[in-house]
Amino acid sequence: MTVIELRDLAHDVTNNLLTGFPSAKLDEAIRAVTGADGLIAVTPIFTTSYSGLFKSFIDILDPQSLADLPVLLGATGGTDRHSLSIDYTLRPLFTYLHAVAVPTGVYAASADWGGGGESGSSTLPTRIARAAGELAALVAVSDRSDRVIDPFALPEGFSPSGSFRA
């Protein structure tokens, strides 16, 4: 289990956006995420959506690199009115990347920390347990961390002369 705090990488993420390549420290984080069997992706919700830093990190990943990755989507926010943000901002993002986001998202607002959970609705610990169970089932059967990727794989049918077939 590797924990990555994007705050520690904020300058590196910005530099990657500008130069097109990651620093060694950022490269390590990218490899940890893209080579994982499961990912718990958590962001604060700012102004109805994931934070800019979170999106910037996603933006520097190879768009193919999260395919088949089991993901648990989590978010924190200042008000529980933003709880559906997981489903209308985070979920489409990971769907686009062909990651496999588990059905239960975990959103935690001030009310979850302040109260014990209202009667009749699920508490934060029960939502965490349900989402974690869904993620664990997918991680158990993932072979992603064992895969070998050839960065120079040529497209199928490619011919260097236009007509030559090896």
CB of 18 to another protein, least distance (A): 3
In 3D, which of 106, 94, 112, 90 has the Cα closest to residue 46? 90
Residue 60 C-beta: closest distance to another protein, Å: 13
Using CB under 8 A as the binding criterion, the count of chain residues that bind another protein stands at 20
| Angle at alpha carbon of residue 56, lines to 85 and 82, rounded to 5° | 15
Query: Which residues, numbered 100-159, are part of the site for another protein (CB under 8 A)?
Result: 151-155, 158-159
Smallest separation, CB 143 to another protein (Å): 24
Nearer to another protein, 26 or 41 (CB): 26
Q: Give the Cβ contact number of residue 120 at 10 Å.
A: 5
34 binds another protein (CB under 8 A): no
